[in-house]
Amino acid sequence: MELQLHHVSKQYGKKCAVNNVNAVLLPGVYGLLGANGAGKTTLMRMICGVLKPSAGSISLNGKTMETLGERYYAHIGYMPQEFGFYPDFTAREFMLYMAAVKGMDKKRAKTRTEDLLDMVNLSSAADQKIKSFSGGMKQRLGVAQAELNNPSILVLDEPTAGLDPKERVRFRNLISNFAKEKIVILSTHIVADVSYIADTILMMKQGRFLLQGERDAITENIKGKVWELLVDEKTAAEFNSKYSVVNLHHENGMVRLRIIEETAPSQNAQNVEADLEDLFMYYFGEKAEKQEVPYAG
């Protein structure tokens, strides 16, 4: 299974939402990471066939979406950011309705519905109306319907937005279970979610890919640029206005700062290992928004 994005762009008048994106995706979990407005949702909607690219092509195993037609859509499972539920449907009724929309036969639809409701821990709530569900329950139902046709490509747009920490952990584990032998594209601006489950990071900004790489290797881009030091509160305030401070922590009247800077901000600063959150702040923090950065892709 191979999904190819070849010079994919999407133009709305003078605004370019997605700009010349290239990628080859194989089975695994891809974390599509970027700030709001980076072009993530537009790209995912093109992959799912909801939007047509203004330029470029999307192919599956070497055949374009247009050539494959309905055969392409049979490979897609999609959970949009704002998913439209029918509040007076029960979870079971909704799943069977979505199965009909996807063209599944009744026998398979019933079997998949029961299996998936069990998998997302909603069997006990299968006959409850969706309007009584919590946000986490609705999100789990959303990913269950995306899995109904057992897609080869599972596309999840901000699936953990608005969930409490416990539900987010549950949801991440659920996605990991679904990810076997599939291409899973998980869009988010919550760094912790992709830190735990993504194999590959696709970092997007202003409609283009900044970086593409394995989760554990991609932070090499800012190796030697992350520093920690302990300072008094006055110095902390000065450093906070001068440098890109990722984190600060008060310790016994002092302040521990974590700073991203090309060179040591002070003689007392110690170089520390960079993580994905540091990388995100390097490219999307307040100071980064004012800078031009090189693009990959």
- Percentage of residues in the chain with pLDDT exceeding 90? 63
Strand partners, 200: 30, 214
Strand partners, 245: 259
pLDDT of residue 86: 85
- CATH architecture entry for 3-219: 3-Layer(aba) Sandwich (3.40)
Mean of all residue pLDDT scores within the chain: 89
pLDDT of residue 270: 94
Averaged pLDDT, 149-157: 93
Q: What is the DSSP string of 211-253?
A: EEEETTTGGGGGTT-EEEEEE-HHHHHHHHHHSEEEEEEEETT
Q: Tell whether the model's pLDDT for residue 162 goes beyond 80.
A: no
From the CA atom positions of the chain, what is the Rg in Å? 22
Amino acid at the residue 95: M
Q: How big is the CA angle at 169 (ends 168 and 171), to the nearest 5 degrees? A: 65
